[in-house]
Structure 1
């Protein structure tokens, strides 16, 4: 068995201790800037240029070591924050982060405000203010607190009551329960139609994008100039098919949509976006609720109402025409019967008839 020197054991122990100390202690020439609200650390120290040249395992090791040291400094700053136990004494130890100092840019633009509905416009015009009311009211019949509207509301549904009051001036033979059910169906259909109209109006308002200025400003970019040229080309009756082309313009004239109608995604691209699209497609296929096209539904309802109004108007005109033709036929038949009676009243020797030859 080989003898182990004391100097080697001490050197190994010192190296082990230095490695442990290096895992928690990081020395930097310039102090890092921290934004603990965003969990952000800014390192302004220049990286070693010799280790980052080229691509290889040495470069990857240098970048990994740099990221590890900066993360260690950020974690050390987090441990200096005041901490508390979440959910009692046995809960995890959490730290309250301060307010962020850096304003990070948004990935997407802020959402546009929703356009007001017809009722909101009317309320704003008339000065009607919304008063907050409690959702529960006392029901005298059930002797308990119930909802103001909806299922099991206070007072119950009048269409399902066992007794219905006949209004003054109403037909006593009319079924009041059927009338209440019919009025409820009409209210539900009217509210649904108004909801679809509001959604269609909001969809049209959200899809409307202000057009770019077409007047020359002196510092227009290439995209603006191409947009202006495309708009000027498709403004003709032939959509620019017979217009003379510019020197470097493509042979096929652009469409009104700017060539965005037939758009194909690249075969090799963003896999996360493709995965999200496929998941949305599977979600729509597995959902029992049908996908509703708001604009198409509203347009269909409007066309149906216009067709019904036109059919009712045509039916009234046809009834008026039939009444007039019936009166004309009645007048003709009365004239014919009068002429027939006059012929019967004439004497036999009158010269009104034809003479026979001898």
Structure 2
């Protein structure tokens, strides 16, 4: 057995220790810029072997992996320098509080539009009503326990499911109060659902409406604003700008997806997967017990029906008022006609004619 020298063992141990230190130690000519709030590290050093990175092959992949690994190691080392604490006690994980981000990252999608206020919110803002936060649990005197304020197993229970119903004063004693309570509950639920659909339809109309492009006659409009206003003016014609002449140096606009047609027909030969998904969705809707509800159409139909009923009631009220006014004006007219006919009959009679039926005037 060959003798093992102590110097060789120590050299091997030193190499292993140097390899461990090398795995966590990264040296850069220019220090990286860190944004720990976004977990971002910006490396402004030129990449090593730029000529090798232009080509393709295993060497390029190895260089890119080594560069990404070194930068990630620097970012992780900076994260370990932050003050850390144990979450959930001594046995919890070690977490660090990140600072505020300094680099503004671009958004992938535009920010969502603000939700339009409902009718109740508009009324509350007009009257100055402020919303007060209520606790979700209240004390139930009947059950002697804390229960929810709303929903299932709420405090006080559902009056329609109570075993005893009080007959209000002035009500019919023969009326079924339980049926009345159930009917009132159905009406409240239907009214709330109608209000919810109205709010959805109003929000849909407000979201789909395109605001007019502002054009202030100050002479300082930029190119984009003038282009937008010119486009709005062109498509405001009856032909949607099809026969409108274009301005010089005005770029041609891409054709619209709809093409000015009300209906769109899919091509006969196209994506089979999309066709299969559409057919399956159609069969699923036909086989489902729950009917498909078009919110916009339902709300518009309900609003048109209410407007028609209000218009009919207003028209009937006007006709009744007009009939009363006509009868009032017709009564004196009839008496006047009768008096005029009597005068004509008296004028046609001879002065002394008759069989002695005439009366003498007193002097």
TM-score bracket relative to the smaller structure: 0.5 to 0.7
String of CA shifts for 1:271-323, please: whole Å, max 9, x gaps: 99999999999999999977654322211222344566678889999999999
String of CA shifts for 1:211-257, please: whole Å, max 9, x gaps: 33467887878876665555444433344455556789999996697
String of CA shifts for 1:71-101, please: whole Å, max 9, x gaps: 2222222233334444444444433333333
Contact kept in structure 2, 1:234 and 1:256, CA below 8 Å: no
Change beyond 3 A, Cα 1:252–1:176: same
Deviation at 1:194, TM superposition (A): 1.0
Helix, strand or coil for the counterpart of 1:146?
Answer: strand
Contact kept in structure 2, 1:146 and 1:154, CA below 8 Å: yes
Contact kept in structure 2, 1:234 and 1:255, CA below 8 Å: no
Helix, strand or coil for the counterpart of 1:102?
Answer: coil
Change beyond 3 A, Cα 1:328–1:180: farther
The CA RMSD measured in Å over matched residues stands at 8.9
Contact kept in structure 2, 1:239 and 1:255, CA below 8 Å: no
Change beyond 3 A, Cα 1:306–1:15: same
Take 1:6 and 1:285, find their aligned partners in 2: how far apart are those partners? 84
Change beyond 3 A, Cα 1:22–1:351: farther
Change beyond 3 A, Cα 1:352–1:70: farther
Change beyond 3 A, Cα 1:277–1:150: same
Helix, strand or coil for the counterpart of 2:226?
Answer: helix
TM-score (norm. length: structure 1): 0.64
Deviation at 1:193, TM superposition (A): 0.9
Deviation at 1:120, TM superposition (A): 1.8
Q: In structure 2, what is the equivalent of residue 221 of structure 1?
A: 222
Tell which deviates more after alignment, 191-200 or 211-220.
Answer: 211-220
Change beyond 3 A, Cα 1:287–1:65: farther
Change beyond 3 A, Cα 1:232–1:26: same
Helix, strand or coil for the counterpart of 1:141?
Answer: coil
Change beyond 3 A, Cα 1:67–1:114: same
Change beyond 3 A, Cα 1:84–1:254: closer
Contact kept in structure 2, 1:233 and 1:243, CA below 8 Å: yes
Stretches of structure 2 lacking an aligned partner (at least 5 in a row): none
Take 1:44 and 1:267, find their aligned partners in 2: how far apart are those partners? 54
String of CA shifts for 1:177-235, please: whole Å, max 9, x gaps: 32222222211111111111112222222333423346788787887666555544443
Deviation at 1:37, TM superposition (A): 2.4
Tell which deviates more after alignment, 110-119 or 8-17.
Answer: 8-17
Contact kept in structure 2, 1:146 and 1:153, CA below 8 Å: yes
Contact kept in structure 2, 1:83 and 1:94, CA below 8 Å: yes
Tell which deviates more after alignment, 288-297 or 188-197.
Answer: 288-297
Contact kept in structure 2, 1:234 and 1:254, CA below 8 Å: no
Stretches of structure 1 lacking an aligned partner (at least 5 in a row): none
Deviation at 1:9, TM superposition (A): 10
Tell which deviates more after alignment, 315-324 or 227-236.
Answer: 315-324
Change beyond 3 A, Cα 1:319–1:133: same
Take 2:161 and 2:25, find their aligned partners in 1: how far apart are those partners? 77
Take 2:220 and 2:272, find their aligned partners in 1: how far apart are those partners? 38
Contact kept in structure 1, 2:258 and 2:264, CA below 8 Å: no
Deviation at 1:22, TM superposition (A): 3.1
How many pairs were matched up? 358
